[in-house]
Structure 1
Amino acid sequence: MNGRTSLLLTDLYQLTMLQAYFDQRMADTAVFEFFVRTLPDNRNFLVAAGLEQVLDFLEDLQFTPQELAWLAACGRLHSRFVDSLRELRFTGDVQAMPEGTIFFADEPILRVVAPLPQAQLVETRIINLLQFQTLVASKAARIRLAAPESLLVDFGLRRAHGAEAGLLSARASYLAGFNGSSTVLAAMQWGIPIFGTMAHSFIQTHERESDAFEHFARSHPQASTMLIDTYDTEAAAHSLVPLAHRLAREGIHIQAVRLDSGDLAGHARKVRLILDQGGLTQTTIFASGNLDEYRLAEFIAAGAPIDGFGVGTRMNTSADRPYLDCAYKLQEYAGVARRKRSEGKATWPGRKQVYRSYGADGCMSGDVLTTADAPACGQPLLVPVLRQGRRLSSSPALDAVRDHARAELARLAGNLRTLTPAASPYPVRIAEPLSRLAAEIDKRA
């Protein structure tokens, strides 16, 4: 998103820890990594997303005079520490998996190497950005896999959990393979194609439904999708046929009809027959209303004649699995590898790299998680993206990121492309150097 994010959009404990670090003069280099501990139920993979917004945040990191004045007056922090924040900037390095990359549990998708106060302060916002867009992109990818040939449009802004969530979910879903969004700002900001139809209220303001169709078609002759389920869906389809022929003689063509309620598959079959018998074979059918990958898979399996779908709430909130068990954890400080050993939340220590191998068919065959200084066979997935607080290259176009995500999904083995858990999960092997490092740290502890 354009515009600076306030550094006060964080957890209080980030600031209280920074003051404690300041008082103890702890500013050696720290290494933090973001990863997902376990895949959500029914998920065989995740799609990395949100990196661009993280890099924007890090490059713009700075307290404003107003924020510093509030911190000085809040009574929680002492003046010497608050004064020290005036010159705070992010000067560290970042390595990350490119957006659109498929990844799995325990694999870091981003590593921050920076003085401890800087690396600590950014934790909350990094998790906030990466968790949400990765969650939505992964859900959207499943929807694309369920309906590989269909037009898919993000319809979720109005029920998203806030304005930023609605905008970023438009980006994440497009990145993962959707054709576009109904969110206008997403078009201006990232060039995402925008789609829209008409509202039930427009139909209701007219005495005759056919008049509403005609008025809308004349107002939008190049983009006319008619919402036909306000009253009687099939009756509306019948009334549309003569109108469409009359408008066609003037060069105005009804491109599609939209169904938004009831038995979508049943209505689609009846409407398709009405349109075909009326000579409107080129008019497509678009459906919306509480859709997700499971319903789309049912429609496809049943051969429902629906050409496109508007998917909103259940995708933008990832309704079946609305969060990721993710973390941003310290892995090294002052040159010494560190490891959290809490029950159920133990981490693999040190700076790490993920190496990916491919089979003869071009599909991903397995990953190796190892220490960054112990190369393994395969393609390394974490690459440098930020050095000394600045990007190493210009941001890739969103369409290029989308192409990368499409290529990644194409390399998934068939058993991982299903909507149910794979009988054989994707193999991620912990390399011996990493296991040895963990054992050494445990022994030292």
Structure 2
Amino acid sequence: MPGGLLTDLYELNMAASYLRRGMDRTATFSLFVRGLPKARGFLVAAGLESCLELLESFSFTGVELEALGSMGFDDRALSDFSTLRFQGEVWAVPEGRIVYSEEPVLEVTAPIAIAQLVETVLLNQITLHTTLASKAARYAIAAEGRRLVEFAFRRTHGLEAAMAVARASALAGFTATSNVEAASRYGLDVAGTMAHSFIESFPTEGEAFRAFAEDHPGRTTFLVDTYDTLGGVRAAIDTIHDLGLGGELGVRLDSGDLDALARGARALLDDAGLTHAHIFASGGLDELEVHELVRAGAPVDAFGIGTQLGVSADAPYIDSVYKLVEFGGRAVMK
């Protein structure tokens, strides 16, 4: 996608005036966050790769120029836009690094028209990816080394956000994603079990477990809370023993008192000689709840994280800005 229309109208208005008046001196714009969201002591920089891809492809196609003409731009403006390409320099904090408020995350130095035009899309990408990576980092800290799997696809605000959260969570230390497209696109590990609907589609929970284990012998983590959670653990144990399953085994808890249920599940698994079977917990967890479970010593080996991460529920945006700091060798500030 060339990307010339990925901007706000006022950027085009300003760029047209700069170009018409021959204002082609170099400008430097600095992108930073004015203040940290509440309950955030730091941010994790992310989104640089997509920014660079957009800058490298920036141009206006014939169709896009026609669209601008229909919006009121005259032939002179369209002619000036037609030859625009990004020719400049980008300085940025590497993705995955900690950043703070008032600290430049990315700076663009280029002729003022093009540097102005890319403001909107750079803010869009850095805001989205940094917001999500920062939220994911909080989970990584809370989990204290336990595995984290990103489950947010179905609750994100659109497809682009789903791809962004899978990538950002991997950047922050998550071990896998449920998002198949993101796993393929970014080379991530993919993980998933089954839904309650699968269990409900069989006459009994045990029959569902057996069918799943026979069909997917390498993915035998059983969702045990459809009916009675500890009863589900017993049914999973019976299936494992009946089929002689080995390798990586586990049970998933998706509701209820996860601390108490994890302890009960661990006791049943250990008593059955399945000390190597893991316990996977999910169910709308935020990072504070993960922290509480870990600090309480709940025997949870991995967490599935969805909605709260996918929309960064407690801090859904950052106050990012893109300010002109130098023009034609002259420092400026608002």
Pick the TM interval, shorter chain. over 0.9
Deviation at 1:252, TM superposition (A): 4.8
Match of 2:117 among 109, 121, 141: 121
- 1:231 alignment partner in structure 2: 227
Question: Are 1:330 and 2:295 counterparts?
Answer: no
Deviation at 1:12, TM superposition (A): 1.4
- 1:174 alignment partner in structure 2: 170
- Specify the SS of the correspondent of 2:317: coil
Instruction: Tell me if structure 2 keeps the 8 A contact 1:32–1:328.
Output: yes
Q: Which has the higher helix share?
A: 2
- 1:321 alignment partner in structure 2: 315
Number of aligned residue pairs: give it.
Answer: 334
Inter-partner Cα distance in structure 2 for 1:43 and 1:5: 35
TM normalised by structure 1 equals: 0.73
Instruction: Tell me if structure 2 keeps the 8 A contact 1:261–1:289.
Output: yes
- 1:6 alignment partner in structure 2: 3
- Specify the SS of the correspondent of 1:6: coil
Match of 2:43 among 42, 46, 49: 46
Inter-partner Cα distance in structure 1 for 2:34 and 2:70: 39
**Amino acid of the residue matched to residue 154 of structure 1?**
E
Match of 1:106 among 92, 102, 109: 102
Q: Map Cα deviations across residues 127-168 of structure 1 (whole Å, 9 max, x no partner).
A: 111111111111111111111221101111110011001101
**Amino acid of the residue matched to residue 296 of structure 1?**
V
Deviation at 1:254, TM superposition (A): 6.2
- 1:366 alignment partner in structure 2: none
Inter-partner Cα distance in structure 2 for 1:89 and 1:96: 20
**Amino acid of the residue matched to residue 59 of structure 1?**
E
Instruction: Tell me if structure 2 keeps the 8 A contact 1:7–1:61.
Output: yes
- Uncovered stretches (5+) of structure 1, i.e. residues with no partner: 341-445
- 1:297 alignment partner in structure 2: 291
Deviation at 1:24, TM superposition (A): 2.6
Instruction: Tell me if structure 2 keeps the 8 A contact 1:217–1:254.
Output: no
Match of 2:252 among 254, 258, 261: 258
Deviation at 1:300, TM superposition (A): 0.8
Instruction: Tell me if structure 2 keeps the 8 A contact 1:156–1:315.
Output: yes
Match of 1:150 among 143, 146, 152: 146
Instruction: Tell me if structure 1 keeps the 8 A contact 2:175–2:189.
Output: yes
Deviation at 1:40, TM superposition (A): 1.4
**Amino acid of the residue matched to residue 122 of structure 1?**
V
Q: Map Cα deviations across residues 333-392 of structure 1 (whole Å, 9 max, x no partner).
A: 11111101xxxxxxxxxxxxxxxxxxxxxxxxxxxxxxxxxxxxxxxxxxxxxxxxxxxx
Inter-partner Cα distance in structure 2 for 1:149 and 1:176: 12
Q: Map Cα deviations across residues 378-422 of structure 1 (whole Å, 9 max, x no partner).
A: xxxxxxxxxxxxxxxxxxxxxxxxxxxxxxxxxxxxxxxxxxxxx
Deviation at 1:207, TM superposition (A): 0.9
What does residue range 258-407 of structure 1 map to in structure 2 within 5 Å?
A: 258-340=252-334
Q: Map Cα deviations across residues 256-278 of structure 1 (whole Å, 9 max, x no partner).
A: 11111121112111111121122
Instruction: Tell me if structure 2 keeps the 8 A contact 1:226–1:254.
Output: no
**Amino acid of the residue matched to residue 168 of structure 1?**
A
Inter-partner Cα distance in structure 1 for 2:267 and 2:42: 39
- Specify the SS of the correspondent of 1:38: coil
- Specify the SS of the correspondent of 1:90: coil
- Uncovered stretches (5+) of structure 2, i.e. residues with no partner: none
Deviation at 1:297, TM superposition (A): 0.7
**Amino acid of the residue matched to residue 156 of structure 1?**
A
Instruction: Tell me if structure 1 keeps the 8 A contact 2:3–2:57.
Output: no
- 2:239 alignment partner in structure 1: 243
Inter-partner Cα distance in structure 2 for 1:313 and 1:129: 20
Q: CA RMSD in A?
A: 1.3
- 2:34 alignment partner in structure 1: 37
Inter-partner Cα distance in structure 2 for 1:252 and 1:280: 10
Q: Map Cα deviations across residues 148-193 of structure 1 (whole Å, 9 max, x no partner).
A: 2211011111100110011011101110111121111222111111
Deviation at 1:284, TM superposition (A): 0.7
Inter-partner Cα distance in structure 1 for 2:3 and 2:320: 23
Taking structure 1 as reference, are residues 175 and 195 closer, same or farther at Cα in structure 2, changes over 3 Å only? Answer: same
- Specify the SS of the correspondent of 2:34: strand
Inter-partner Cα distance in structure 1 for 2:93 and 2:279: 38
- 1:18 alignment partner in structure 2: 15
Instruction: Tell me if structure 2 keeps the 8 A contact 1:247–1:253.
Output: no
**Amino acid of the residue matched to residue 39 of structure 2?**
N
Greater alpha carbon shift after TM alignment, 203-212 vs 254-263:
254-263
Inter-partner Cα distance in structure 1 for 2:199 and 2:3: 43
What does residue range 207-218 of structure 1 map to in structure 2 within 5 Å?
A: 207-218=203-214
What does residue range 84-99 of structure 1 map to in structure 2 within 5 Å?
A: 84-99=80-95
**Amino acid of the residue matched to residue 263 of structure 1?**
D
Instruction: Tell me if structure 1 keeps the 8 A contact 2:32–2:104.
Output: yes
Instruction: Tell me if structure 2 keeps the 8 A contact 1:63–1:88.
Output: yes
Match of 1:59 among 52, 56, 59: 56
Instruction: Tell me if structure 1 keeps the 8 A contact 2:236–2:251.
Output: no
Instruction: Tell me if structure 2 keeps the 8 A contact 1:48–1:101.
Output: yes
**Amino acid of the residue matched to residue 58 of structure 1?**
L
Identity of aligned residues (%): 48
Inter-partner Cα distance in structure 2 for 1:213 and 1:254: 15
Inter-partner Cα distance in structure 2 for 1:173 and 1:126: 20
Inter-partner Cα distance in structure 2 for 1:185 and 1:312: 16
Taking structure 1 as reference, are residues 239 and 217 closer, same or farther at Cα in structure 2, changes over 3 Å only? Answer: same
**Amino acid of the residue matched to residue 160 of structure 2?**
E
Instruction: Tell me if structure 2 keeps the 8 A contact 1:268–1:305.
Output: yes
